[in-house]
Amino acid sequence: MPLIALTGGIASGKSTIARRLAEHGAVVIDADALVRELQQAGQPVLAAIAAEFGDGVLTASGELDRAALGALVFGDPDRLARLNGIVHPAVKAESQRRFREALDADPDALVVYDVPLLAEARGTGEWDRVVVAHAPAEVRIARLAEHRGMSETEARARVANQASDEDRLKLADVVIDTSGTLEETLVQADALWESLRG
């Protein structure tokens, strides 16, 4: 079972590539979706976050207040490291469980782990291939402003808070240039699928 890590900075087009590979038949496991599941009310991860950062990161109904937590950790490396120390081990354990589950269901499955923070977590050992969706920072900043309504300042802060393009590209076995048109990105995703299945 090929195990592929698909990573890229915010607004890099990584999700577009993941969707295309899923259309071809890949089993896509989304790290962001795992994080959201593990941070639901009643989950040990959410309890640990509240214990570390206080009840101010919870809504009145006991859900995670993402905006409140984000305001605490973004721009504060120590707090962000403490949050990552809670979340990353739980996500790793759950993702590995799901990789095994996919293999048990179909030993020939191609599993793609859609993981934005691969470079930040320094996780390179277990992958058959690391695919990096890459667009220059200025392109991604423009996308964040256009498609997600962020101010330029906010978009720049989000991009700056992630690993550098250089660090991410160092991990790559395959780079998909997402700075062009959607069709150009999809053609590269199709070629990746063929090379992985060939």
Per residue in 95-114, pLDDT (tens digit) is 999 999 998 999 999 999 99
In this prediction, residue 123 has a pLDDT band, given cuts at 50, 70 and 90, of low
pLDDT at 37: 95
Tens of pLDDT, residues 162-183: 888 888 999 999 999 999 999 9
| Residues contacting residue 36 through CB under 8 Å, at least 6 positions apart | none
pLDDT at 47: 95
Q: Which residue has tokens 């890459």?
A: 134
Buried b vs exposed e over 45-73: b needs ≥16 C-beta within 10 Å?
Answer: bbebbbeebeeebbeeeeebeeeebeebb
| Residues contacting residue 79 through CB under 8 Å, at least 6 positions apart | 53, 72, 73
Amino acid at 45: V
CA dihedral 34, 73, 144, 175 (to 10 degrees): -60
Radius of gyration of the chain (CA): 17
Report yes or no: 124 and 7 within 8 Å, Cβ to Cβ: no
Q: What share of the chain is helix, strand, coil (3-state, %, to 5)?
A: 60, 15, 30
- Is 124 a residue whose pLDDT tops 60? no
Strands of the sheet with 111-114, listed across from one edge: 27-30, 111-114, 3-8, 129-134, 174-177
Domains of the chain, start order: 1-26+110-198 (3.40.50.300), 36-107 (3.40.50.300)
- Is 74 a residue whose pLDDT tops 60? yes
The pTM for the full model equals: 0.86
In this prediction, residue 122 has a pLDDT band, given cuts at 50, 70 and 90, of low
| Residues contacting residue 186 through CB under 8 Å, at least 6 positions apart | 16, 20
Tens of pLDDT, residues 9-68: 999 999 999 999 999 999 999 999 999 999 999 999 999 999 999 999 999 999 999 989
- Is 121 a residue whose pLDDT tops 70? no
pLDDT at 7: 94
| Residues contacting residue 141 through CB under 8 Å, at least 6 positions apart | 11, 152, 155, 156, 159
Report how far residue 84's alpha carbon sits from residue 74's, in angstroms, rounded to the nearest whole number: 12
Report how far residue 144's alpha carbon sits from residue 11's, in angstroms, rounded to the nearest whole number: 6
pLDDT at 6: 95
